[in-house]
A and B are shown apart, each in its own frame.
Chain A
Amino acid sequence: MKRIFFGLMVFGMVLGMIMLALHGKSTESTPLAKLNEQYAKKTKASVDHSMFQQLKKRFTKPQEVTAACISCHNGRHTEVMQSTHWNWERTEYIAGKGIRAIGKRNVLNNYCIGISGNQQSCNRCHIGYGYSDASFNFSDSLNVDCLACHDNSATYVKAIDGAGMPDKSVDLNFVAQRVGKPDRTNCGTCHFFGGGGNNVKHGDLEQALFDPTRDVDVHMASAGPDMQCVDCHTAQKHQMLGKMYSVSSMNRNRVECEHCHSAMPHADDVLNEHTYKVACQTCHIPIYAKVNPTKLNWDWSTAGKLKNGEPYEEKDSSGTDIYMSIKGSFVWGKQLKPDYIWFNGTASHYLLGDTLDPSKVLEINTLYGSYDDPDSKIYPVKIHRAKQIYDAENKYLIQPKLVEVKAGDGGFWKEFNWERADEEGMKQVHLPYSGQYGFVETEMYWPINHMVSLKEQSVQCAECHTRENGRLARVGGFYMPGRDYSTIVDRLGVGVLILTLIGVILHGTARVVVYRKRKDVK
């Protein structure tokens, strides 16, 4: 009887352990397979634009193309004209500042600083024609540039310093007859080159994504799901999903991995549990700037040095600019581990005219969040640091005029004179300039969302759960197993253990010695 009972018990325990060991190792997750299948199917356009008479008549101006588009796509332009791509502005609530219209007109960055006074050059990436200064007419629908986003011929380019007008080389008829859904080429032409060059700004958006391998990005991999930007950044009535915390501040309209993958996509409970406090990106984007470097540091204070009266550039051994007379000195980085912060989806911004404390590092955008806040998760970010120009008397950042449009207009990139550039730039934003300038250290936070790696390359447990130099070493506010411990408990605990060992060894040795002696005596 007893034996049977005992046997059953052992059997039960063994069974229990096997079940536990197997638990959590379920089979291939079907949701992922379904997604792969869904995105492998590429939709084909239902019409052939090259057949339309309206697009065959000779276009001499890009506005004529827009008119032709509107003649069929009746009313679509009004949707576009409500978008942030067109207005470069959105109305947002900013903690401590209230409801504000923010955008490139009043938000600065710490790369090329701002568009005001520089529209002729910067606004090449506006989806309109001729946004060359603040007087641009945002209600003229003929200035909507349909082709920038809808060209599928990959031949449409906007002219350098052309305020958004197409380059002379563009054959408008050829392009207009080959329009369709935006692909990575359309978006990337602007979004991969923000800050004046490939990968300068984001670090996770760059030309390698035109035709990426799976190692670079599992979603966009050409030999893979080959997803296009608009597969995630979906649009309704030309309002795109997604946002950037360099210019927006509210927790809305975000593209999230969970939209497709669900909140708990892992087969393993321990991993799923992490999703309460850790964003997907944190583990699944172990490195960014995978292929080409991104700018990490920009020191404007060294700009303006000339050799024989001429501006010059210096490159490092890999051919990246490390000094340019027009812009100053740079530090670049490639294959970088992100920084990590608590982030709840809301941000604040330095707005034109806000006063600053030059003895402190100024956060151009502040991302909010903390462990105690249930909406916060740990996110990967790129931090871009700079030294940029500010008005030393009025204590605010300066919008300098950089681009020269007319000779003698103060453009720094021609005249290399900060006083003139400041004066002219500040006129554009209607702020007084004291004539005194200095350089202040600033920081900008760029959440890293792209370049998702193969799951085998995701961040491993011990990269964070470790005492030394873990990825989350500086992310505070909570106890993390493996990283944190009580020093007192550890000291005392190890002490007790060592004393026990010593005691046991001494006692044992003494017994052996005594035993030997006694044997000798006998």
Chain B
Amino acid sequence: MSSNTLTAAEASGPQKPAAGFEGDRQDNTLGGAVRGYLDKLRGGDLGALPAVLGIITLGILFTVLRPGTFLTPLNLANLAVQATPIIVLAMGLVFVLLLGEIDLSAGVVSGVCSAVLAQVLVQSGFGWPVAVLAAIVTGAVIGMFTGSLVGMVGIPSFVVTLALFLGWQGVTLRLIGQGGTVPVREPVIRALANENLPLAVGWALAVLVAVGYAAIELWRWRAKRARDLAHQPLVLVVLRVVLMAVVVLGVTAILSEDRALSAAVDLAGIPYAIPLVILLLLVVTFVLSRTSFGRHMYAVGGNAEAARRAGINVTRIRVMAFVISSSLAAISGILATSRLSSVTPDAGAGNTLLYAVGAAVIGGTSLFGGRGRARDALLGGLVIAIIANGLGLLGVAAYLNFVITGGVLLLAASVDALARRRAATAR
């Protein structure tokens, strides 16, 4: 930031009185958009690039290493279902990470909520709606507790959630019992990860998503252009719309193929868990980018003091981040329970948290706060699931699996830290 840049801008700047934003118009061309994107990359904001590259390279790698196994409808469906609890947990963590905080207990909170779900179903004999509600309320209350300790008492979130990481494991152990496993055979819960949408419904949903996305994007583009506001060039909008349609319809096509191993049975369709994740993705994206609550979330993460001076209730935002994170952890726990059809005392422990944090960070959410989106959880969660799935297919020894996954998180965190340094020096 030197006076040179400014004087240069002045010299070349528009001299028309009271019309100051010729730049907006430049940005509306394709060249301007490309330049803007390159500037962003150079400034250290890599966005979705690492995750997308990761999905492509890892996909190619495992396809080559395990031809005929990795890239089959059966494995891809497995992979997608495997990814859902990671994605949902990561989506919750995005809220916490946005504030520059961490929740080390998110994984085991999902475990506690799973245990509550199982106990309500099995011991109390209630139906799934009560059990699901109980699990999510448990998550919300836990989040309120964590958030209050961080936001009101002022204990660093790292310490609070490290303590709770141990504490909640004890609670799960108490609920499930040492060495015990509570099987969950409730049909609706089980169906989430183990049953598929009817083919016609799957296609209808896919078309709805593709067309809906196109309609919203094009409508917004038109409205902005009509009012002469900053907008992307139409080519780019169309490209995004087409890309979205190709991905959504492509995935639907793959999942609609019969993937049964024996010819006697039919196994095809989108697993129920996937539309659930898409729905959560839409809701979280909407909250973060279209509501003032979401805007305040970013503001607190970017500059808490500025947010406070702007009259934002910073404490409330902090508490809410943990409430949302833990509630989504509960949903993640429900998905995990569905996939395993049971709850064990170590539910949500082990590498659950590492996977979710890794997913968010690989997807582009910053550990330093202020940057993150719902889609980061989706893209990063897919990268993590591909790694877990691929290493499983390769039959890699357990120790190597740990080392590799830990390494991937470190790599993502390094990219994040370096990007931040770049952004700081770029100014």
Whether both chains belong to one complex is answered with no
Binding site for A on B (CB under 8 A): none
